[in-house]
């Protein structure tokens, strides 16, 4: 019956006109609409030129550390395109790693297998295993661990807890028995640290089943950190049903001297609720978690005299800081109801007089400012900054720094034009050195140029250096990495950069400019810049990067370009330009794609060794001819060895003769010295000299001269 229904649906689809098929595709997600092309030739013909771009990554949410693959995942289309090695050869290393992580996080095992088979890597970043664990892909995790291509880290347990697949958690535990998990700095993790990481991931995604399993299997009891994690992630059901009762019960069981710290812990939980939960949850738990009346009563009764005044002042300072943090959590909340939560805190928690007193303190105002500027990549940044200005918080360069860092043009114009905070060229390149959401980076640079800024080679170097900083292993491959916007920004900057008007001239200035271009090229290759960007840098005088650097970080297209440029500059074949040592280094740095390319061009060092694998065919010659050539090469090698042996023997004889001559000469000198010493041995000054030398050596070295 199902088969009949499927055939009937296919018949109905073939009866539709091209216009109706396009109308149906318009209602689907672009990833699903693209897969309609695989239905039949008529559908592919009418949709030719449409839905040609697949979106593989979801928009990076600010409250999550890892980027996820977009759902629905276009599995068939991904396999059709990336299930073969050719598309991977045109990608740089950062692009391949990013695509591999997205395939791992898709939950589509076939896509991950295709990526692993064609990505050209034998060792992978732990981010790939973390992505598969977060997606709950048991088969993918099993293959990665079985092949030993990834290491288990603390983030792997957290991602597995977030994914909620208990089988994946058990698999990671078994894997750690043979290869212990490592944390920051390569330190081995304890069992309690692994369990805490699992619990943190489970709380961030609302996986109550994982928490129940951790309690049964490892005796883990939810605590304050778990509750804060759930609250910041907006997991209201898990927070109120499981975690909140445990936290409040633990607080009531504490002794009197620990109440101060417990009240502070409640305030931290309220901050997390204000940050990640809806406004009604904040209003519901405000009275329970707002501790100031009990805190002041406890402080007043514990001390007397000067001690009481000091304790009261400390409590007041701590209270002011915690109140500012509550306002910061609401104003910087990523939820859509941030305005309502901010107004509730201002009116119900603080009051106008208290707010005015807090914002007049520079340190507390900075706390609120930093929290709001964390939303610099969102379109609500201008509205948040307006609210801060209405509260009496003065605009500052922190606003400007975050707006430029995020490429937020609307916020930049607001800060400059309405708030009167100027953006200088030196400030832009000095502080905006990491732009995690820089889709507007090119527009920002163009605006600066329109306002009269002049870019030079040092600015190009700085821009490229920022891109390499984003690829730091500590920053993760999910949230950052090379993007088309950054590629375009660096290429544009390389084209428009000018030499600054020099107040002094000389060779040192010229060398400095050359150094800027050289560093920019180096950073661009390491960050995985496209070939047009590298060509733009080359046209401006940047030297070519080492072939090994292109082999390690670039695509085959980049590698071929670098090799061709080196041959053109040297006017000789690449082997003569670089030498076998550099070629061998490039061979070792590259993957299988690079090795195959170098073998096809005879760029592997000759002679027997691991770098010269046998080939079945080459240049149309059969295996018999190749075997004869190999035999001749072996004979030539043996002859060379015999010649080297004879030369070595001749050299040893010459060295032996030289040693004999030197020995005879030394004996003659010793005999002459002995005769002189004997003749002078009877004189008093010679005896005195020997005694003086002996005394000096004993004083300085602790013994007589040898």
> Tell me: the pLDDT tens digits for 479-511?
334 455 677 888 998 999 886 554 444 555 566
DSSP-assigned letters across all residues of 642-657:
HHHHHHHHHHHHHHHH
Segment 188-209 shows an average pLDDT of 92
Residue 216 has pLDDT above 80, yes or no: yes
Most confident of 123-127, 199-203, 316-320: 199-203
Contact yes or no for 521/542 (Cβ under 8 A): yes
| 400 vs 297: which has the higher pLDDT | 400
* Residue 183 phi, psi (nearest 5): -110, -150
Q: What is the pLDDT of residues 667-700, one digit of tens each?
A: 444 333 333 333 334 455 556 666 676 666 666 6
Lowest mean pLDDT among 8-17, 411-420, 656-665: 656-665
Q: What percent of the chain has pLDDT over 90?
A: 23
Q: Tell me the pLDDT of the chain averaged across its residues.
A: 76
Mean pLDDT of 60-86: 74
381 φ, ψ to 5°? -60, -40
The answer for residues whose C-beta is within 8 angstroms of residue 582's C-beta and 6 or more apart is: 546, 547, 548
- H or E element that contains 240: none
What is the distance between the alpha carbons of residues 170 and 444, in angstroms, rounded to a whole number?
49
Question: Is 86's pLDDT higher than 80?
Answer: yes
Q: What pLDDT is stored for residue 14 in this prediction? A: 78
- The confidence score (pLDDT) of residue 567 equals 87
Determine contact, residues 430/440, Cβ cutoff 8 Å.
no
Nearest to 229 by CA among 211, 217, 253, 212: 211
Residue 70: the pLDDT is: 78
Let me know: does 497 contact 110? Beta carbons within 8 Å. Answer: no
The residues, any chain, with a CB within 8 Å of residue 311's CB and separated by 6 or more, are 299, 302, 303
Distance CA 113, CA 100 (A): 10
Percent share of the chain, pLDDT over 70: 70
Higher pLDDT, 229 or 486: 229
Question: Is 337's pLDDT higher than 80?
Answer: yes
**Partners of 153 in the beta sheet?**
182
The closest of 370, 357, 363 to 329, measured between CA atoms, is 370
Tell me the per-residue pLDDT of 546-570, one tens digit each, with 9 for 90 and over: 998 998 888 888 999 999 998 888 8
Lowest mean pLDDT among 18-22, 137-141, 406-410, 425-429: 425-429
Show the CA angle centred on residue 89, arms to residues 84 and 95, nearest 5°. 105
pLDDT score for 624: 42
The SS3 call for residue 611 is coil
Candidates 129, 166, 125; CA nearest to 146 is: 129
Question: Rounded mean pLDDT of 90-98?
Answer: 85
For residue 72, cis peptide bond before it (omega within 30 degrees of 0): yes
Tell me: the pLDDT tens digits for 261-314? 677 788 899 999 999 999 999 999 888 887 753 444 444 444 445 557 777 777
The two tokens of residue 274 are 């204000």
Give the mean model confidence (pLDDT) for residues 89-99.
Answer: 85
Q: What is the predicted pLDDT for the residue at 304?
A: 47
Q: How far apart are CA 229 and CA 247, in angstroms?
A: 13
More confident residue, 666 or 240: 240
Helix and strand totals (H; E) in the chain: 40, 0
Q: What distances in angstroms separate CA 94 from CA 134, 227, 407, 482, one per listed residue?
A: 21, 36, 22, 7
Q: Which runs of consecutive H residues, i.e. helices, occur in 179-304?
A: 191-205, 208-218, 224-232, 236-238, 244-252, 259-276, 279-289, 292-302
Judge whether residue 662 has pLDDT over 70. no
Give the pLDDT confidence score for residue 705 in this predicted structure.
47
pTM equals 0.73
């Amino acid at each position: 019956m199902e088969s009949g229904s499927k055939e009937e649906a296919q018949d109905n689809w073939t009866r539709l006109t091209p216009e109706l098929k396009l109308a149906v595709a318009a209602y689907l997600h672009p990833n699903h609409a693209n897969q309609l092309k695989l239905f039949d030739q008529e559908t592919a013909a009418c949709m030719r030129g449409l839905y040609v771009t697949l979106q593989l990554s979801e928009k990076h949410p600010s409250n999550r550390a890892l980027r996820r693959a977009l759902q629905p995942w276009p599995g068939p289309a991904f396999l059709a395109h990336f299930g073969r090695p050719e598309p991977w050869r045109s990608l740089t290393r950062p692009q391949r790693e990013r695509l591999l992580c997205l395939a791992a996080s898709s939950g589509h095992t076939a896509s991950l297998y295709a990526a692993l088979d064609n990505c050209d890597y034998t060792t992978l970043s732990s981010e790939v295993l973390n992505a598969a664990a977060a997606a709950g892909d048991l088969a993918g995790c099993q293959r990665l661990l079985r092949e030993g291509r990834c290491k288990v880290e603390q983030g792997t347990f957290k991602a597995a807890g977030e994914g909620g697949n208990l089988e994946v958690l058990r698999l990671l535990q078994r894997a750690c028995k043979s290869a212990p998990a490592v944390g920051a700095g390569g330190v081995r993790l304890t069992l309690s640290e692994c369990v805490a990481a699992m619990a943190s991931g489970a709380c961030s995604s609302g996986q109550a089943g994982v928490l129940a399993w951790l309690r049964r299997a490892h005796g883990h009891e939810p605590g304050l950190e778990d509750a804060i994690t759930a609250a910041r992630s907006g997991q209201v059901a898990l927070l109120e049903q499981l975690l909140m009762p445990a936290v409040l019960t633990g607080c009531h069981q504490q002794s009197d001297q620990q109440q101060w710290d417990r009240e502070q812990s409640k305030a931290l939980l309220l901050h997390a609720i204000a940050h990640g939960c809806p406004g009604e949850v904040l209003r519901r738990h405000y009275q329970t978690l707002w501790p100031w009346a009990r805190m002041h009563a406890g402080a007043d009764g514990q001390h007397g005299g000067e001690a009481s005044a000091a304790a009261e002042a400390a409590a007041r300072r701590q209270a002011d800081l915690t109140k500012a943090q509550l306002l910061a959590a609401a104003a910087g909340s990523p939820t859509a109801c941030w305005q309502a939560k901010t107004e509730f805190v201002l009116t119900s928690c603080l009051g106008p007089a208290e707010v005015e007193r807090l914002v007049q303190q520079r340190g507390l105002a900075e706390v609120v400012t930093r929290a709001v500027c964390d939303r610099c990549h969102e379109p609500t940044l201008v509205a948040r900054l307006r609210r801060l200005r209405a509260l009496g918080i003065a605009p500052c360069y922190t606003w400007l720094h975050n707006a430029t860092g995020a490429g937020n043009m609307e916020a930049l114009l607001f800060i400059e034009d309405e708030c009167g905070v100027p953006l200088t060229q030196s400030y832009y390149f000095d502080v905006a050195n990491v732009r995690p959401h820089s889709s507007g980076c090119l527009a920002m640079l163009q605006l600066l140029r329109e306002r009269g800024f002049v870019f030079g080679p040092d600015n190009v170097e700085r821009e490229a250096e920022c891109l390499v900083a984003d690829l730091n292993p500590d920053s993760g491959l999910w949230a950052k990495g090379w993007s088309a916007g950054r590629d375009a920004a660096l290429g544009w900057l390389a084209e428009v950069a000018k030499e600054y008007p020099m107040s002094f001239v000389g060779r040192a200035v010229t060398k400095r400019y050359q150094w800027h271009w050289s560093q920019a090229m180096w950073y661009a290759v390491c960050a995985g810049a496209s070939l047009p960007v590298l060509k733009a840098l080359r046209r401006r005088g940047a030297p070519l990067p080492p072939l090994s650097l292109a082999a390690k970080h670039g695509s085959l297209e980049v590698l071929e370009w670098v090799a061709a440029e080196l041959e053109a500059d040297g006017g000789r074949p690449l082997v003569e330009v670089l030498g076998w040592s550099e070629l061998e280094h490039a061979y070792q740095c590259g993957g299988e794609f690079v090795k195959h390319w170098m073998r096809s061009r005879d760029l592997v060092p000759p002679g027997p060794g691991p770098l010269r694998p046998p080939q079945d065919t080459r240049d149309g010659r059969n295996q018999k001819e190749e075997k004869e050539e190999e035999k001749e090469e072996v004979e030539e090698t043996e002859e060379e060895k015999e010649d080297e042996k004879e030369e070595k023997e001749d050299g040893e004889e010459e060295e032996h003769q030289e040693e004999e001559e030197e020995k005879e000469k030394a004996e003659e000198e010793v005999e002459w010295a002995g005769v002189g010493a004997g003749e002078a041995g009877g004189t008093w000054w010679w005896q005195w000299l020997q005694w003086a030398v002996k005394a000096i050596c004993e004083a300085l070295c602790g013994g007589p001269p040898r």
